[in-house]
Structure 1
Amino acid sequence: MSIKKNNLPTWLLSGMLTLAAPLCMAAEKEVTADQVVSALESTFGVHSGERRNHIKGTCATGEFVGSPEANTYTRSILFSGKPVSVIARFSLPGGNPEIPDTAKVPRGMALEFRLPDGSLQHMTMLNTPVFGAASPQTFLDNIIAKKPDPATGKPDPEKIKAFKASHPDSLPQSEFLAKNNPPVSWTNSSYFGIHTFKFVNRDNKTTLVRWRFVPKDGEKQMTDDELKSSPPKFLEQKLIERTISGPVQWDMILTIGIPGDPEDNPTLSWPSDRKEIKVGTLTITSAMPQKGAECEKINFDPLVMTDGIEPTSDPVLLFRSSAYAISFGKRLSGN
Structure 2
Amino acid sequence: MQNNRKSWLLAGALVLGSPLTMAADGEVAADQVVAAIEGTFGVTPGERRNHIKGTCAVGEFVGTTEGAAYSSSKLFSGKPVPVVARFSLSGGNPKAPDTAKSGRGMALQFKLPDGGLQHMTMLNTPIFGAAQPRTFLDLMIATKPDPATGKPDPEKIKAFKASHPDNLAQADFLANNNPPTSYANSAYWGIHTFKFIDRAKKTTPVRWRFVPQDGEKRLSDDELKSSPPNFLEQALIERAKHGPVRWNMMLTIGVAGDTEDNPTVTWPEGRKQVNAGTLTISSASPQKGAECEKINFDPLVMADGIAPTNDPILLFRSPAYAVSFAKRLGEK
TM-score, normalized by the shorter chain, greater than 0.5: yes
TM-score (norm 2): 0.96
CA distance in 2 between counterparts of 1:240 and 1:152 reads 38
Q: What is the match of residue 260 of structure 1? A: 257
Q: For residue 66 of structure 2, what is the aligned residue in structure 1? A: 69
Cα distance in structure 1, aligned partners of 2:15 and 2:323? 14
Structure 2 equivalent of residue 202 of structure 1: 199
Q: 2:320 aligns with which of 313, 318, 323?
A: 323
Residue from 157, 163, 168 that aligns with 2:165: 168
Partner of 1:127: 124
Partner Cα separation in structure 1 for residue 44 and residue 14 of structure 2: 27
2:221 alignment counterpart: 224
SS in 2 for 1:217: coil
Gaps of 5+ in 2: 18-24
Aligned to 2:55: 58
Structure-1 residue corresponding to 2:139: 142
How far does residue 22 in structure 1 lie from its aligned partner after superposition?
A: 6.5
Q: CA RMSD in A?
A: 1.1
Q: Following the alignment from structure 1 to structure 2, what is the Cα–Cα distance between the partners of residues 78 and 206?
A: 17
Q: Could you tell me how far apart the structure 2 residues matched to 1:307 and 1:157 are?
A: 47
Structure 1 segments (4+ residues) deviating >4 Å: none
Aligned partner of 1:19 in structure 2 is: 12
Which residue does the alignment assign to 2:155? 158
Question: Are 2:202 and 1:191 equivalent residues in the alignment?
Answer: no
SS at match of 2:222: helix
TM-score, scaled to structure 1 = 0.95
Q: Distance in 2 between matches of 1:22 and 1:194?
A: 21
Alignment of 1:243-258 (within 5 A): 243-258=240-255
- How far did residue 328 of structure 1 move? 0.5
Matches of 1:103 and 1:226, distance apart in 2: 12
The answer to whether the 8 A contact 1:108-1:191 is kept is: yes
**Match of residue 85 from structure 1:** 82
Q: Is it true that 1:104 corresponds to 2:65 in the alignment? A: no
The total of aligned residue pairs comes to 325
Kindly provide the amino acid, as one letter, of the partner of residue 13 in structure 1: K
Identity %: 71
Q: Which residue of 2 aligns with 1:279?
A: 276
Aligned-residue offset at 1:21? 4.4
Gap change, CA 1:22 and 1:278, over 3 Å in 2: closer
1:289 aligned to 2:282?
A: no
Give the superposition deviation at 1:278. 0.4
Q: Which residue pairs with 1:94 in the alignment?
A: 91
Q: Distance in 2 between matches of 1:127 and 1:19?
A: 25
User: 1:30 maps to which residue?
Assistant: 27
Residue 312 (1) aligns with residue 305 (2): no
For residues 14 and 75 of structure 1, what CA distance do their matches in structure 2 show? Answer: 20
What secondary structure is seen at the aligned counterpart in 2 of 1:31?
Answer: coil
CA distance in 2, matches of 1:322, 1:251: 30
Does the Cα contact within 8 Å between 1:110 and 1:124 map onto a contact in 2?
A: yes
